[in-house]
């Protein structure tokens, strides 16, 4: 029998009674522990917003390369094709992307991971659409962490102050058609784990996402339009002493190499100063890794994947 990633209804947690909320929380925690991924339906992100986001993403990535390069801005704005690679893999991924974060708060202390967003003037509606999408996904992430916290022995609101204005990033990804002469060692996204606490992925326009099952087999993630996919990252694994492990995943090259693929992962990060030392409630799951802040951990990983020097 083929294993399938669990599908959960977020409405069970946001609108259910105490029993339904508890059942969702239990299933969510179990899904992350067993698979590292779950599919989320009945969520709070408007379908028309998702559809507009994909339309406008395609318009932005269709702009001339010289125009897109005007918006290069480190962890904000445009990152050109072939820049990022998976940790430990020298072959660059076959993708380009645009990154959006929280706008820096007025008079906020300097933060190397936070900068004003860069918006493409050539697609006027892009800013309003993706500001709304960022806010909706950030709200969804906070709800999911409230559902997860009690299974880790934490108060439901434990993560709220850490992530409400954390260093989270919405990445708008474009995997262009694959050139006939492309290096066969390069794929759209080589096997990797996400850096952050959890990732909320808007169901992609195009197949190819696969996770490495706990049994060591690659399992395709198949979703319907407008669903969300949630996975756990390295920061969560470190914080929970691998009670909630990070999950290796990849995006394989399409059987139809002439078609673009678009994807929108929201990487939920805590604040820079958040400690990733193992939670006291998780210390019986083996020897924890040495303490490190989220900012120091992110800095190390950005260097390892080619996004920082």
Distance of CA 66 to the CA centre of its chain: 28
Query: Tens of pLDDT along the chain (309 residues)?
Result: 456 789 999 999 999 999 999 999 999 999 999 988 999 999 999 999 999 999 999 999 999 999 999 999 889 999 999 999 999 999 999 999 999 999 998 877 778 898 999 999 999 999 999 999 999 999 999 999 999 999 999 999 999 999 999 999 999 999 998 887 778 789 899 899 999 999 999 876 667 889 998 888 898 888 887 899 999 999 999 999 999 999 999 988 876 777 888 999 999 999 999 999 999 999 999 999 999 999 999 999 999 999 987
For residue 219, report the phi and psi dihedrals to the nearest 5 degrees: -120, 115
* Closest among 185, 188, 18 to 94, alpha carbons compared: 188
Tokens of 238: 């470190």
Q: Could you name the CATH architecture of 7-304?
A: Sandwich (2.60)
Domain map of the chain by residue range? 7-304
Tokens of 271: 């604040």
Contact 289, 238 (CB under 8 A): yes
Instruction: Determine how many CB atoms are found less than 10 A away from the CB of residue 214.
Output: 14
Q: Give the predicted TM-score (pTM) of the model.
A: 0.95
Which pLDDT value is given to residue 206?
67
Residue 294 CB burial class (10 angstroms; 0-12, 13-18, ≥19):
buried
Tell me the CA distances in angstroms from 184 to 52, 56, 255, one per residue in order.
34, 30, 14
71-93 burial string, b = 16+ CB within 10 Å, else e? beeebbbbbebebbbbbebeebb
Which pLDDT value is given to residue 1?
43
């Amino acid at each position: 029998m083929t294993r399938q990633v669990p599908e959960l209804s977020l409405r069970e947690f946001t609108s259910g009674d105490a029993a339904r909320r508890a059942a969702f929380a239990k299933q969510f925690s179990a899904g992350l522990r067993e698979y590292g991924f779950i599919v989320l339906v009945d969520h709070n992100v408007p379908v028309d917003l998702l559809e507009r986001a994909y339309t406008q993403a395609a318009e932005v990535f269709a702009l001339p390369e010289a125009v897109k390069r005007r918006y290069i801005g480190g962890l904000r704005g445009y990152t050109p094709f072939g820049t990022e690679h998976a940790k430990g893999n020298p072959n660059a991924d076959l993708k380009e992307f645009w990154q959006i974060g929280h706008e820096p708060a007025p008079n906020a202390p300097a933060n190397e991971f936070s900068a004003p967003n860069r918006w493409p003037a050539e697609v006027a509606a892009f800013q309003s659409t993706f500001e709304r999408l960022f806010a909706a996904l950030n709200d969804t992430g906070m709800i999911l962490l409230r559902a997860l916290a009690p299974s880790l022995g934490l108060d439901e609101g434990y993560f709220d102050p850490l992530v409400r204005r954390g260093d989270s990033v919405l990445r708008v990804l474009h995997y262009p058609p694959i050139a006939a002469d492309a290096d066969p060692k390069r794929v759209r996204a080589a096997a990797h784990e996400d850096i952050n606490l959890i990732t909320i992925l808007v169901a992609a326009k195009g197949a190819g996402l696969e996770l490495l099952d706990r049994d060591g087999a690659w399992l395709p993630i198949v979703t319907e339009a407008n669903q969300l996919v949630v996975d756990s990252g390295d920061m969560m694994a470190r914080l929970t002493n691998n009670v909630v492990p990070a999950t290796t995943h990849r995006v394989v090259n399409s059987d139809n190499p002439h078609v673009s693929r678009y994807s929108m992962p929201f990487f939920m990060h805590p604040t820079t100063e958040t400690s990733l030392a193992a939670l006291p409630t998780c210390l019986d799951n083996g020897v924890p890794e040495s303490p490190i802040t989220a900012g120091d951990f992110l800095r190390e990983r950005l260097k390892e994947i080619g996004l920082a020097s």
